[in-house]
């Protein structure tokens, strides 16, 4: 059974710092891995999608990497800003034992960027 | 604008009173799904649909029904809501390369 873990659960940094959020998954049989951002009481916004054949994706100040063999993904945020404060979720698009597929979410890392 | 919409955004109801949360997407996606999000438990899938008239259970389907009569709509039905269904609900649709897009959420309170 696929499980996704995100560490740390919460992170507080001063503005301008570069930071890394971690995501690990137990089963390397994934289609892809997707990072989301969620603001309090709001929906999920897709940030980056990494296909299983890729090693990284970049969008602006964000860079996500994927290492299937070790079951890890990281989200790198450069030059953090207070507006980056949110909960960041990673989700593995997993292949189930029955041959179907589903998105398995981590519980998220709550990021606070202090001015 | 490409989006997933849900209605209502907020709903307070009483135990046993049937309700429907609508979900619609304008991206012609075949795959749609419903999740609930609870503190400490994260996001869990309720039901999903691979295409019109094709639905299947997710991880927590008990107490819920869905239908997929047309591609753009995927309503979530609670025939007899109970307090343990108080939660934040999200509808999502997925592109051909498996990127998921989520609706804004429906906060449901069952008294």
Name residue, tokens 């999920």: A44
User: Could you read off the pLDDT of A67-111 as tens digits, one per residue?
Assistant: 999 999 999 999 999 999 999 999 998 876 666 678 899 999 999
Inter-chain residue contact A46 with B48, CB threshold 8 Å = no
Query: In chain A, where do the E strands start and end?
Result: 4-7, 10-14, 19-25, 30-38, 44-51, 56-59, 62-67, 72-77, 86-95, 101-105, 109-114
Opening angle at CA B50, ends B49 and B55, nearest 5: 35
Chain centre distance of CA B48:
9
Inter-chain residue contact A44 with B90, CB threshold 8 Å = yes
The pairing of strands A86-95 and A72-77 is: unpaired
Q: Which chain A residues have a beta carbon less than 8 Å from that of B103?
A: 43
Average pLDDT, 10 consecutive residues per value, chain B (111 residues): 93 97 96 94 92 92 97 97 97 90 96 96
């Amino acid at each position: 059974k696929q499980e996704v873990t995100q560490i740390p659960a919460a992170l507080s940094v001063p503005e301008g710092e570069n930071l890394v959020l971690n995501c690990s998954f137990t089963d390397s049989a994934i289609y892809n891995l997707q990072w989301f951002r969620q603001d309090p009481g709001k929906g999920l916004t897709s940030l980056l999608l990494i296909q299983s054949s890729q090693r990284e994706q970049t969008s602006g100040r964000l860079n996500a990497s994927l290492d299937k063999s070790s079951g890890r993904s990281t989200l790198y945020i450069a030059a953090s800003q207070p507006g980056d404060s949110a909960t960041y979720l990673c989700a593995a698009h997993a292949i189930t034992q029955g041959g179907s597929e589903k998105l398995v979410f981590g519980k998220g890392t709550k990021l606070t960027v202090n001015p | 604008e490409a989006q997933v919409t849900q209605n209502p955004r907020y709903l307070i109801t009483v135990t046993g009173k049937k309700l429907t949360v609508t979900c619609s997407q304008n991206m012609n996606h075949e795959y749609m799904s419903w999740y609930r999000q609870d503190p400490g438990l994260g996001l869990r899938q309720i039901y999903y649909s691979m295409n019109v008239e094709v639905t299947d259970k997710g991880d927590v389907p008990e107490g819920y029904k869905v239908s997929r009569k047309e591609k753009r709509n995927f309503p979530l039905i609670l025939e007899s809501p109970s307090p343990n269904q108080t939660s934040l609900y999200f509808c999502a649709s997925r592109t051909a390369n498996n990127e998921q897009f989520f609706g804004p959420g429906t906060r449901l309170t069952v008294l």
